[in-house]
Amino acid sequence: MSPDAPHPDAGRLDGLRVALVFPTFLDVELASHQDNARFLGAIPPLSLGYVAAVFKRAGAEVLLMDCPTLGMRLPKAVEVVRTFRPHYVGFTLATVDWSSSLAWMNGFKKELPDAHILVGGIHMELYPEETLSHDCVELGFVGHADMGAVDLIARHAGGESLDDLPGAVFRREDGTVQVNPEPPRPRTDENMPFPARELWPVEKHFSIVSTEKHFTAAMSNFGCPYRCEFCILRGDALRQRSARSIVDEMEFCYHEFGIREMDFFDPVFTIRRQRVFEICDEIDRRGLKGMIWSIRARTDAIDPQVLDRMWASGCRRICYGIESGSNEILRRVDKRMNSTEHIGEVVRASKKRGYEVLAFVMIGNPLETRRTVGMTRRLLTSLPIDLVQVASLFPLPKTPIYKELMARTGRDPWREHVLHGTDMNPVQRLDTDLGDEEIQQLVTEMYLAFYFRPSFVKFALGRIKEPAQLRRGMEAAAGISKSFVQGALGLSG
């Protein structure tokens, strides 16, 4: 399609007002909102940004509420959206956030009864019928919403049938829920719109690990072909943007928003080696030397040539999913990265080239013991790793670990949680004797063992460019220390 040609969706949503809401979650009992997670930054909600862009392109008036970044609770969010007088209010759902999301959707439906609640997100690929069992939710979409949400709203607003619309989830006249199959994803996508950053408080976004004042997040590909047994994206169909499209977005962010650091949140940025070179060539061709960027990668999907090429084009941080210091655990969860010895070789090569290295690790995988946790801690502190993010494994629906738990227990706890609000604590885990409290204590201890070393203090002070970075780092350190003391004394937060 020619850049100057009108988009086929242009005008389809004229006259409609759509509010897209990313809630501020207060509960800390679920995986994505553990106590330490609040120190990680204010990251833009990319999924809603993409949906906002296609709605705007189709002529809708869009309000995008990034409530965590704005420090906005439910009552204030409702008050702001009420003045917008929306026809639709949209949410993106993750199953781990279900209880909080439901509270927000119920709150909006109660206060704005004439607005239709629309939902999407990866949760809808898992429990679509269960989600629409709740009266507050009227419409849903299964799959990448930027590919079909305009059709969904246009048809619904026009009173047209949704029976044959791929990805549509809706109630029939008899009250039963119909779930249409997800539309096929393109393997490559040249024309995917950029997230509607003009609707975000861009100046307030930051990551605890970013070094530049103006920061944003982005995606260069979606899905993941790898088969890690703990990951909800396991074997998910890959949809990749072109090098030109990616660098168009970088250039647009640089000039229009003054952004100087972009963090790519792809599960694995380096899946296609040649595409990495194409992206770097395009960055160099446009002279974007003032933009630094970071990626997520696997240690078995990178090599010295890729390290050199990305460094020359401004990549300065690589986040590796290391997961565990135990080869036995890595094999058990199908994290095929050769060995912890190879992980060490790649980390050392990355650091030698000049990169900051961030490691993601988990505690609570199958076969986890205090001994294997100690192996992970020793791996982290023995390698030239600069930053670490530690999480407790939370068995997620659709993953092999969760399916095995279901087979053993004959229950689907997440489905029960979505349908009836049953408590997910204590967390059910597979083939480990470590309990919730013990795992949370081990997470905090690992943070302390890594970050309260003189070598890290020296590194952290050396990278500070503005007072806000120092303040955030001190807040995170204080928060982690508080968690440790409370855990040791058996106190709650």
What 3-state class would DSSP assign to 148? coil
CA–CA distance, 53 with 286 (Å, rounded to integer) = 25
Q: Is 284 exposed, middle or buried (0-12, 13-18, 19+ CB in 10 A)?
A: middle
CA–CA distance, 435 with 373 (Å, rounded to integer) = 13
State the helix-helix crossing angle for 304-312 and 340-353, rounded to 10 degrees: 30
Sign of the alpha-carbon torsion through 154, 157, 160, 161: positive
Residue 246: what are its φ and ψ, rounded to 5°? Answer: -65, -45
CA–CA distance, 90 with 47 (Å, rounded to integer) = 11
How far apart, in Å, are the Cα atoms of 425 and each of 192, 394, 422, 491? Answer: 40, 11, 9, 18
pLDDT tens across the length of the chain (493 residues):
545 577 888 899 999 999 999 999 865 444 443 344 456 789 999 999 999 999 999 999 999 999 999 999 999 999 999 999 999 999 999 999 999 999 999 999 999 999 999 999 999 999 999 999 999 999 999 999 999 999 999 999 999 999 999 999 999 999 999 999 999 888 888 788 999 999 999 999 999 888 888 999 999 999 999 999 999 998 888 899 999 999 999 999 999 999 999 999 999 999 999 999 999 999 999 999 899 999 999 999 999 999 999 999 999 999 999 999 999 999 999 987 778 999 999 999 999 999 999 999 999 999 999 999 999 999 999 999 999 999 999 899 999 999 999 999 999 999 999 999 999 888 889 999 999 999 999 999 999 999 988 888 778 777 766 556 555 555 555 555 555 445 544 444 4
Q: Is 259 exposed, middle or buried (0-12, 13-18, 19+ CB in 10 A)?
A: buried
CA–CA distance, 357 with 413 (Å, rounded to integer) = 36
pTM: predicted TM-score of the whole model, two decimal places? 0.92
- Report the DSSP beta bridge partners of residue 297: 320
* DSSP string covering 414-477: HHHHHHH-----SPP-SS----HHHHHHHHHHHHHHHHTSHHHHHHHHHT--SHHHHHHHHHHH
What 3-state class would DSSP assign to 30? coil
The answer to whether 298 touches 337, Cβ cutoff 8 Å, is yes
Domains of the chain (ranges plus CATH)? 17-179 (3.40.50.2300), 209-393+429-489 (3.20.20.70)
